[in-house]
Amino acid sequence: MKEAIEKISQELQQLKATTQKEAEEARIRFLGKKGEITALMEQFRTIAPELKREYGQKLNELKKTAQEKIEALKSAAGETKTEATAQDLTMPGDSFPLGSRHPVSIVRQQIVDIFRKFGYDVAEGPEIEDDYHVFEALNFPPNHPAREMQDTFFVSTGHLNPLLLRTHTSSVQVRTMESQPLPIRVVCPGRVFRNEAISARAHCIFHQVEGLYIDKNVTFADLKQAILLFAREMFGPETEIRMRPSYFPFTEPSAEVDVSCNICHGKGCNICKGTGWLEIMGCGMVDPNVLKASGIDPEVYSGFAFGMGVERIAMLKWQVNDLRHYFENDMRFLSEFATATEV
């Protein structure tokens, strides 16, 4: 052991390092877990008891010398000019790729801008809502089977009006009917949440834009015309729509809306599954019970409502086949929409 201590001591005296990397390599060589001095410390356990005091003192001095030497080398290396610090700092820096607006944000803004041209205002509301505004005021009484259509994330359930993450932006329509004077003409964009398995066609988080128009003598024909004008603004002037009977607790009558496929122009393709039509939204005339719940007389006023998924519109507009792309923040995917800002 004596020879090994003297050998390492001589090597430390001659040790040099011009960079931080070299100094760190020296530290690992002598003081690392498998370093030479560490190995001597392990070997120290096996020497005779009468020699332990002598060699223990020498090993401690050697370890201290190594630590001081390596610290000195690191300090000296830190003061040495590296290639990076030797560069001309007045030179222009490297450019980094800039992001662009998210496709969901682009489509949401396009939808809102279209309805603004039709005279609609924008209304927004809280994402954490109460049961009354999400369900009860929209004709979802307790234990109603329609509640099973929407898997809900509850925030609190310990009282009669529990808090939850809203499952649709229809709650904003209720708050608007409660607070704004008639007539009402608004669109309600926002993020909604449902307890669904994530797949190419479904996600637990998505975005909606819902619309509401209430006035005297509003008819289903007004609803159809508003949706037709929207579809032609969004998908092209040749777009046609069709309405299929459906059911929603808060509208009666209710309908699902399809647009003619903007890929095959109604001839049938993989996108529209050979039908020539693509579903885009649900709609209907506001149920009289919903009007009454918000203090509006259904004998005097009528109205229509509609709602669409923003991701769904974006998928149809750009033929995106997997909803998960919108949430992964993959720059390769997002960069494709850098110029997609026009309606």
Q: Could you read off the pLDDT of 78-91 as tens digits, one per residue?
A: 654 445 456 677 88
pTM of the predicted protein model: 0.68
Residue 30 reports pLDDT greater than 70: yes
Find all residues with CB under 8 Å of 234, minimum gap 6, and list them: 110, 111, 114, 313, 317, 343
Label residue 149 by pLDDT band (50, 70, 90). low
CATH number assigned to the domain comprising residue 180:
3.30.930.10
For residue 300, is pLDDT > 80? yes
Which position has the higher pLDDT, 239 or 42?
239
The pLDDT of residue 339 is above 90: no
Percent of the chain with pLDDT over 70: 94
Residues 110 and 238 grouped into a single domain? yes
Helix (H) or strand (E) holding 302, with range, is strand 302-309
Q: Is the pLDDT of residue 147 over 80?
A: no
Report whether pLDDT(117) > 60. yes
d(CA 13, CA 5): 13
Q: Are residues 27 and 160 in the same domain?
A: no
Residue 94 inside a domain? The answer is no
Do 304 and 220 contact (CB within 8 A), yes or no? yes
Average the pLDDT over each of 60-74, 210-224, 289-303 and give the range with the smallest value.
60-74
pLDDT tens-digit series, residues 56-78: 888 888 888 888 888 888 888 76
Same domain, 60 and 107: no
User: Residues 255, 115: one domain?
Assistant: yes
Does residue 342 lie within any of the structural domains?
no
Number of domains the chain contains:
2
| 164 pLDDT above the threshold of 50 | yes
Q: Is residue 17 part of a domain?
A: yes
Least confident of 25-29, 168-172, 253-257: 25-29
The reply to whether 286 falls in a domain is yes
For residues 108 and 254, state if they share a domain: yes
Tokens of 47: 């020497």
Domain assignment present for 91: no
Residue 243 has pLDDT above 80, yes or no: yes
Categorize the per-residue pLDDT at 343 as very low, low, confident or very high, splitting at 50, 70 and 90: very low
Q: Alpha-carbon distance 198 to 324, whole Å?
A: 8
Identify whether the C-beta of residue 290 lies closer than 8 Å to the C-beta of residue 302.
no
Residues 141, 24 within the same domain: no
For 39, the domain range is: 2-79
Q: How many residues does the chain have?
A: 343
What does the mean pLDDT of the chain come to? 87
The backbone torsions φ and ψ at residue 62, rounded to the nearest 5 degrees and listed phi first, read -65, -45
| 84 domain-assigned | no
**Same structural domain, 59 and 118:** no
Task: Compute the distance between CA of residue 311 and CA of residue 204 in angstroms, rounded to an integer.
Answer: 12
Q: Are residues 159 and 18 part of one domain?
A: no
Looking at residue 11, its pLDDT comes to: 85
In a domain, 303, yes or no: yes
195 & 69 share domain: no
Residues forming a β-bridge with 187 = 122, 211
17 Cβ partners below 8 Å, 6+ apart? 23, 25, 26, 73, 74, 76, 77
- pLDDT given at position 270: 72
Please, what is the Cα angle at 236 between 199 and 343, to 5 degrees? 75
Instruction: Please determine, for residue 20, whether its predicted confidence score (pLDDT) is greater than 80.
Output: yes
Distance of CA 78 to the CA centre of its chain: 42
DSSP string, 170-212: HHHHHHHHHHSPSSEEEEEEEEEE------SS--SEEEEEEEE
Residue 97 within any structural domain of the chain: no
Give the per-residue pLDDT at 334.
86
Task: Specify whether 68 is located in the same domain as 123.
Answer: no
Compute the distance between CA of residue 45 and CA of residue 47 in angstroms, rounded to an integer: 6
The predicted pLDDT at position 25 comes to 87
Q: Are residues 49 and 186 in the same domain?
A: no
Rounded distance between C-alpha atoms, residue 217 and residue 277, angstroms: 31
Strands 184-193 and 121-122: parallel
Mean pLDDT throughout 309-313? 92
Which of 55-59, 96-100, 101-105, 173-177 ranks highest by mean pLDDT? 173-177
User: Is 304 in a helix, a strand, or coil?
Assistant: strand
67 and 176, same domain (yes or no): no
- Higher-confidence position of 122 and 336: 122
The pLDDT score that the predictor gives to residue 120 is: 97
Query: Is residue 19 classed as helix, strand or coil in its secondary structure?
Result: coil
Give the C-alpha separation, 32 to 26, whole Å.
9
